[in-house]
Structure 1
Amino acid sequence: MLRTFVASRAFVSLMAGVLAVIVAAVGAVYFLQPNKKMIAYCAIMPDGIGLYRGNDVKMRGMKVGSVTDLRPEGTGVRVDFEVEAAHPLRGEASATTVSDSIVADRTLAVFGTKGPEWKNSDCITKTVTPKSLTQTFSAMSKVADELRGGDDPAQQDRIKQAITLFDRATAGTGPKINDIITQLAAALRSPDAAVSHIGSLIDKLNELIASVANNWGDLRQMLDGFAPILQTVNDVWDQVTELVNSIVTILPWLNDVTTKYGGPILQLLDSSVPLVHLLGANVGGLQQLVSMVPSIAGMFRTATDPQTGAIGVSWAAPRVALPAQQAEQVCAALNVVAPGRCGGTQDGMTSVDLVPLILGSVGVR
């Protein structure tokens, strides 16, 4: 009998109805969730355009609550809303209104950052709202009116004047602009060359940096070695400075000496040139040097100025006077050594040139 009841249509209909009630109850609990815990917040928005009670509250695109109330407050609108306790606002909270189109109702989007939970007693003040169509068109109308020149007749044609001036300035530049655009297009069609050059430059720079890094020890040693060299240069430069200062002092003195005595000094040097040449004329030994002495002595006996002819230097060999008795003996002896050197005695005295006599005794003629 029980098997017959279970197999009957009445039992199947009953079980289907019970199952439908259970599914409906589970769906209601899942979708409606009447007992889900909520957290109340508020935000001061610039305006409430598009917001109504019951509009969705979203966080990163996911619905987390709904708007519960709207009322004016100060220069803005206070929006009260609830958010699921599982998604509390944290850190620095902010809010804005968003919509899929310019005519649809808006949803309230809230954001948070890392940090402690936002106190629901404090309203969110970091808020923004999109501009309405009226505000947008009003701004566009204002810009167009300013461009047109407003009510000033002198400025109403400035757009036309600007376009005319631009047309004049760009007249005849079309081919050049076309060439520039063509070259730019060619470069953009084959950017590999430019990229290759840039890559090559980066590679070279990398090699240079690597070389400096690898040889930094040697560079540092070289730079350290510059210290004593620079110190030496400083010391030498101090001496050079002193030398230059000395030259600055000496040069005016030399200038004065040359100005006052340059003529006589140069004349004396000109006169001494033949004597210097004579002294350096292939002197092979002491005997040759000594043999030149009489000639030099003769030249110095009377030296005249080549310009005026006046006697400049007079010189004579020393003479010796002897008593008469001794003078005869000495004169006879001198004539034996150098015939004709002694001219005789006068008043018991004789005069002899000692230099030719002495040099002649050693073979000088």
Structure 2
Amino acid sequence: MARPTLPSPPAVPAVLRRPRVPGLGSTATRVVAVLVVVALAAGVYAFWPKHGETTLTAQFTRAVGLYPGSDVRILGVAVGKVTMVVPAGDRVDVTFQVDDTVPVPASAEAAIVAPSLVSDRYVQLLPAWTTGPRIADGATIPLDRTAVPVELDRISQSLDDLLVALGPNGANKEGSLSRLLQTSAANLGGQGQNLHDTTHDLSLALQTLSGGRDDFFATVKNLQSFTTLLARNDQQVRDLNANLATVSQQLEGERGDLGSALANLATALTEISTFVQDNRTVLKSDLAQLTRTTSTIVKNRDALAETLEDAPVALSNLQNAYHPETGTLDTRNNTPQLTDPRLLLCGVLSHLPQGGAACTQLFDLLKTLPILGQLPIPGIGLPSAVPSALTTAAPTTSPTAVPAGDALVHVRGADPTLGGLLGGDR
């Protein structure tokens, strides 16, 4: 089959043609291109940011199913590989590397995790780093911060050891286990409902305790605060105990008197109870009256307060007014007109329009009355001018002592003064 004929390329102008260099051809061009590519790759490799690895070692009691190349994970995500598994006496040192872009806390723990019974195992680091210091390169995680899974053969061995210990060559060598089972069966026979109720009640009690755990812990906290307070005041507590001991000794020495007092008190209470029971009606009435009395006192408490405030002054004045020699209360009369009734009458009439003339006529009338001779009046005559007589000072002579020629009359009867109340003689 004839190949198709391709069109020939267009002619290159002479000005664009590059002259050939003798000795150089297409092979030299390829070599230069390869060298340029290699140089670029080397530069990229040299300057490309690299991620290092953090090497750690964890100590385990066992490392079953763990080999170099096993995963190292955080939260189930692979972050590194196990590099060496080296026995070291009673432990196994497992060395692994973790990408340094993944932070690991300085207090990290390590555990060997078995996803299933037959699969490979991996190292789990926990917890995941959030804040705080990071673990240093080359650090070792000790045994107290590592954990290994329980192996199936160890479980089987433990069960075998238990069965041997309980078997005919162990605890049941003399039939002790059989007798225990028989006795337990006999004691528990027919007690299923009781056991169920007991278990149910116990669960309710535990729920109650769980629901009140806040109060319980608060009580414990308050007790702790109380004991701390007692510890801080140890000397005062000791003094209190000593004082209580002294009081107890005194009470112990007077227990006879206390017993007698209590016996008398019991007798008194019995008599009071009997009295109250026998006089219940009278006591009720008395209490009702006492209630009314106290209500009245409450209503007049202001007056009572004033009386109690003024009573001491009044009693003091009364004591100062008492004359012990005469048995009277000495008082001062500020109305001198009462010593002469005529002056009193004229003083009343002087306010009238014709008071002066009326007073003169009254005096003239009084002179004609025979009763004037029996009154303790100092004198009957008046001056010629009534107004001057009204302005004259009243006689200061005592009513009981009158001049000669005038009648002296002593009025007998009850003494209306405070002196008479105190039993004094006039």
Given the two structures, how large is their TM-score scaled by the length of structure 2? Answer: 0.33
Given the two structures, how large is their TM-score scaled by the length of structure 1? Answer: 0.38
